[in-house]
Amino acid sequence: MAELEQRGERAPAPSKWEYASAPESQEIVKLEDRYGLFIGGQFVQPRSGEYYETLDPSSEDPLAEIPQAGSEDVAIAVDAAREAFADGWSAATPVERAKYLFRIARILQERSREFAVLESLNGGKPIRESRDVDLPLAAAHFFYYAGWADKLEYAFPHRQPKPLGVAGQIIPWNFPLLMLAWKIAPALAAGNTVVLKPAETTPLSALLFCDVLRQAELPPGVVNIVTGDGATGAALVKSEVDKIAFTGSTEVGKAIQRELAGTGKKLTLELGGKAANIIFDDCALDQAVEGIVNGIYFNQGHVCCAGSRLLVQESIYEPLIEKLKRRLTTLRVGDPLDKNTDVGAINSRQQLEKIEELVAAGKEEGAEIYQPPCRLPEKGYWFVPTVFTNVAQSSRIAQEEIFGPVLSVLTFRTPDEAVEKANNTPYGLSAGVWTEKGSRILWMAQRLEAGVIWANTYNRFDPASPFGGYKESGFGREGGRHGLEPYLDFDGAEAFGG
């Protein structure tokens, strides 16, 4: 064993593999020059008469013109959803609702390559991730909630679950189709109709999804998609919906909560995070390094539950950082449609500027920066995978959500200190614990203030598992049986997150 470890120490640094490019063809995706709003089962032009361009963030090339829905457009979409609710969807048998959800799931599987290419094209994420994570999980969410649609009485025994009516849903740009699935699947399974607003920078997969709805013959008006910027989202919040489900920044989440206070509309908020990924000295070190990389560089770090604060036990700090730096040299940054790419493009210029600003603040505050040698494409929005060591707890890069491929490393000596440092954040979304001791995992899990805690793994998702935060990470749960509850009313009983 000792000999093996010694040999491991002498192992040469990873050789520089030159990978031939392996681009996925874009042929499978047929883009329109200009899209409409999807209202009442049809694409319609916006009453606002306004459009904007959506881009490929890896090249800055325009892809299509997208309607900027105004408040009148939003009101029409909400009316269409209300009509569909009253005209049949609320009275449809649960088995009938399940039928449509199963159809949607199967069509997503059949068309997954097309969706994966489009998602990478419009969002900048590596095709490997959109193909192997976003699409399978989006289909799995529809399958999962299709299964619940006719079992609500069993999910909530003696509580007489009833749909709320029209759900307004606002989603971000980091997982455009997956967030759509997280929102739409439970809402429909519970018997609601929907008006959904995708993020301004990533509307294309939601618009392609409208085609899936037509293919599945979902009754018109059950799902409506209104595109636009934050003003469209704000109009949806103010509209005559019965519930708002929001995923995005804490700042906008707070504004929505203020707006809805006293209106009686239900609200769930899935907001930001600054998760601690905690590495104990008894963990499997190489496995932990993979978990750290997956925790922060997956999807360019545009992940609300990203393990963006690494807490390392002091006794293994040096070997771990050494291994981590070596691993970073093997990450390939570049063309999102290349199947060998590990880290794709930053989603927008605005997000790139935010990352650059926080990284500059980290340097100014005295943290040490490491970035592997890396050739970035000339056009598009890019950021080299970055590690900051010597980070003070009070530093902005240890406190604020960077939402990019930037890791801040801190150290601890004892489990108590790890808990104290991990909880020293306004957020409470997720955390990771790496140790070989099961008892320590449970001890930590009881003390960490986080909605999701992974043990010896990171960024694992399953539709059956509830996801959500507390403190400034929001409230309400998505996924699992818990994810149905915010879309239901219960006779005489209080709904979770209501």
Q: Which of 119, 304, 305, 401 is catalytic?
A: 304
Of 107 and 170, which has the nearer Cβ to ligand NDP?
A: 170
Piece of 168-176, 206-214, 455-463, 478-486 that binds ligand NDP (CB under 6 A): 168-176
Whether 270 is a known active-site residue: answer: yes
Q: Which stretch of DSSP H or E encloses residue 356?
A: helix 349-364
Token pair in block for residue 201: 């920078």
Q: Does 478 participate in binding ligand NDP (rule CB under 6 A)?
A: no
H/E run at residue 53: strand 51-56
Stretch that binds ligand NDP, among 55-63, 102-110, 133-141, 225-233 (CB under 6 A): 225-233
Tokens 């990203």 belong to residue: 306
- Contacts of 480 by beta carbon, 8 Å cutoff, 6+ apart: 463, 464, 465, 466
Query: How many whole angstroms separate alpha carbon 277 and alpha carbon 433?
Result: 6
By CB under 6 A, the residues from 373 to 432 that bind ligand NDP are 401, 403
Among 199, 269, 320, 452, binds ligand NDP (CB under 6 A): 199
In angstroms, rounded to a whole number, what is the distance separating the alpha carbons of residues 452 and 368?
30
Helices and strands counted in the chain (H then E): 17, 19
170 binds ligand NDP (CB under 6 A): yes
* Helices assigned H by DSSP within 150-203: 152-155, 176-189
197 binds ligand NDP (CB under 6 A): yes
Does the footprint of ligand NDP cover residue 248 (CB under 6 A)?
Answer: yes
**Which helix (H) or strand (E) is 10 found in, with range?**
helix 2-10
Q: How far is the CB of 100 from ligand NDP (least distance, A)?
A: 25
Question: Any contact of residue 247 with ligand NDP (CB under 6 A)?
Answer: yes
> Distance between CA 309 and CA 248 in Å, rounded?
20
- Nearest residue (CB) to ligand NDP, 202 versus 389: 202
184 binds ligand NDP (CB under 6 A): no
Q: Is 304 a catalytic residue?
A: yes
3-state secondary structure of 72: helix
What interhelical angle do 230-238 and 71-84 show, nearest 10? 50
Q: Which stretch binds ligand NDP (CB under 6 A): 143-151, 243-251, 323-331, 360-368?
A: 243-251
What track of x and - describes contact with ligand NDP for positions 286 through 325 (by CB under 6 A)? Answer: ------------------x---------------------
**Hey, what are 389's tokens?**
């060591």
Strand partners, 411: 312
**What does the alpha-carbon distance between residue 283 and residue 129 come to, in Å, rounded to a whole number?**
27
What are the start-end ranges of the E strands in 301-398? 309-313, 368-370, 386-389
Q: Is 230 in the site for ligand NDP (CB under 6 A)?
A: yes
Q: Kindly tell me which residue out of 137, 177, 252, 444 binds ligand NDP, with binding defined by CB under 6 A.
A: 252
The residue among 36 and 176 lying less far from ligand NDP, judged by its C-beta, is: 176
Spot the catalytic one: 24, 114, 200, 270.
270
> Which structure tokens are listed for 304?
């609300």
What is the spatial distance between Cα 115 and Cα 122, in angstroms, rounded to a whole number?
11
**What count of other Cβ atoms lies within 10 Å of the Cβ of residue 58?**
25
Subset of residues 122 to 141 that bind ligand NDP, contact rule: CB under 6 A? none
Binder of ligand NDP out of 40, 123, 126, 172 (CB under 6 A)? 172
261 contact partners, CB below 8 Å, separation of at least 6: none
The piece of 55-63, 89-97, 264-272, 306-314 that touches ligand NDP (CB under 6 A) is 264-272
Query: Residue number with the shortest CB distance to ligand NDP?
Result: 233
User: Which C-beta is closer to ligand NDP: that of 250 or that of 435?
Assistant: 250
41 binds ligand NDP (CB under 6 A): no
Residues at the contact surface with ligand NDP, assessed by CB under 6 A = 170-174, 197, 199-200, 229-230, 233-234, 237, 247-249, 252, 255-256, 270-272, 304, 351, 354, 401, 403
Active site residues: 270, 304
